[in-house]
Structure 1
Amino acid sequence: MTTETMSPEPARARPVFSSEDSQLLRTAVLHYLKTIEDQPESVKYSNLYHRLGRLG
């Protein structure tokens, strides 16, 4: 004999960041990118900057 239990529906997913947050993050990344522009890791931050631009 099996019993079925009714499980509640999962809560609706909410975004972690707002569109205002993405603009603030993009500005911060750009500032840092200018600081480290001559270092090899600047490529990663440049890519992040462009990806953040697609969010907002």
Structure 2
Amino acid sequence: MATQMNTPQPGTPEPARARAVFSTEDFGLLRQAVAHYLHEIQDTPQSVKFSNLYHRLGRLS
């Protein structure tokens, strides 16, 4: 079974852009929640991953 690529035909409108899932305010709330969780799991190997996530969320807001 061959797969087809959906390419726009001449004269047809382009598909609408996807809407954002999170708002700017959501990133601030997520960052706050991650910060709280970081205090709960400090000194565990998992805390490094959450610390990185915390900093990445800070760059987005």
Question: TM-score, normalization: structure 2?
Answer: 0.76
Structure 2 alignment gaps of length 5 or more: 1-8
The size of the alignment, in residue pairs, is 53
CA RMSD of aligned residues (A): 1.6
Other structure's SS at 1:38 match = coil
How far did 1:13 drift?
Answer: 2.3
| Distance in 2 between residues matched to 1:16 and 1:50, nearest whole Å | 20
How does 1:2-17 map onto structure 2 within 5 Å? 7-17=12-22
Other structure's SS at 1:45 match = helix
Question: What residue in structure 2 maps to residue 48 of structure 1?
Answer: 53
Question: TM-score, normalization: structure 1?
Answer: 0.82
* Runs of 4+ displaced beyond 3 Å: 4-8
Question: What residue in structure 2 maps to residue 21 of structure 1?
Answer: 26
